């Protein structure tokens, strides 16, 4: 009897401590956002109450942390919650995951070693993010280039 009571109390305690999980969740933004970088290096999207410093991306891409002023970046979020960021003259797409008070680089996807993007556009597709640059189309996931 004593063992039974201990098992019941242990079960109640474990159940009470379990984590509440809401699934499935879809974090996708239906369309990309084109955001202008301010003079402090931040982009802000009012609709999603979103603001982040993008100076480190410009330094990573161009090796110049002052090359951001007045530039635009394109950003979209996929169903899993990853942010895809690129811009004109970039050769890469940066994939970030949200962390407390910021974002952490998950993947840097090289689109071209030689030719920079001239007119990049993101589209939300069912299983991937589509990047279009002029006539070229790329399928992206947080893991990398699909094709």
Under the banding of pLDDT at 50, 70 and 90, the label for residue 105 is very high
* pLDDT tens digits for range 46-104: 888 889 999 999 999 999 878 898 899 999 999 999 999 999 999 999 999 999 999 99
Q: Is residue 97 part of a domain?
A: yes
What does the DSSP 8-state code read for residue 37?
A: -
Q: Is residue 33 part of a domain?
A: yes
For residue 137, CA distances in Å to 45, 70, 132 come to: 26, 27, 5
Query: The domain containing residue 68 runs over which residues?
Result: 24-145
Does 147 have pLDDT greater than 70? yes
Q: Is residue 57 part of a domain?
A: yes
Q: Is residue 127 part of a domain?
A: yes
Return the C-alpha torsion angle 56, 104, 73, 77, nearest 10: 180
Nearest to 93 by CA among 67, 127, 128: 128
The domain tally of the chain equals 1
**Residue-level pLDDT at 12:** 62
How many Å apart are CA 145 and CA 147, to the nearest integer?
6
Q: Is residue 79 part of a domain?
A: yes
Does 140 have pLDDT greater than 80? yes
How many Å apart are CA 105 and CA 100, to the nearest integer?
13
Q: Is residue 84 part of a domain?
A: yes
Q: Is residue 16 part of a domain?
A: no
Q: What percent of the chain has pLDDT over 70?
A: 90
Tokens of 31: 């369309």
Under the banding of pLDDT at 50, 70 and 90, the label for residue 43 is very high
How many Å apart are CA 93 and CA 86, to the nearest integer?
5
Q: Is residue 115 part of a domain?
A: yes
- Mean pLDDT throughout 100-118? 96
How many Å apart are CA 49 and CA 8, to the nearest integer?
46
How many Å apart are CA 48 and CA 28, to the nearest integer?
12
- Mean pLDDT throughout 26-31? 85
Mean pLDDT score across all residues of the chain = 90
**What's the pTM?**
0.84
Helix (H) or strand (E) holding 42: strand 42-45
């Amino acid at each position: 009897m004593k063992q039974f009571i201990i098992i019941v109390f242990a079960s109640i305690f474990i159940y009470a401590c379990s984590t509440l999980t809401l699934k499935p969740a879809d974090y996708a933004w239906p369309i990309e956002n084109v955001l202008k970088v301010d003079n402090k290096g931040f982009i802000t999207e009012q609709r999603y109450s979103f603001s982040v410093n993008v100076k480190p991306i410009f330094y990573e891409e161009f090796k110049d942390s002052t090359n951001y002023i007045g530039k635009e970046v394109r950003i979209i979020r996929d169903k899993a919650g990853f942010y895809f960021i690129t811009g004109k003259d970039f050769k890469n797409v940066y994939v970030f995951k949200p962390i407390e008070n910021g974002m952490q680089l998950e993947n840097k996807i090289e689109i071209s070693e030689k030719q920079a993007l001239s007119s990049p556009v993101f589209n939300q597709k069912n299983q991937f993010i589509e990047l279009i640059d002029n006539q070229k189309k790329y399928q992206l996931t947080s893991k990398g280039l699909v094709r």
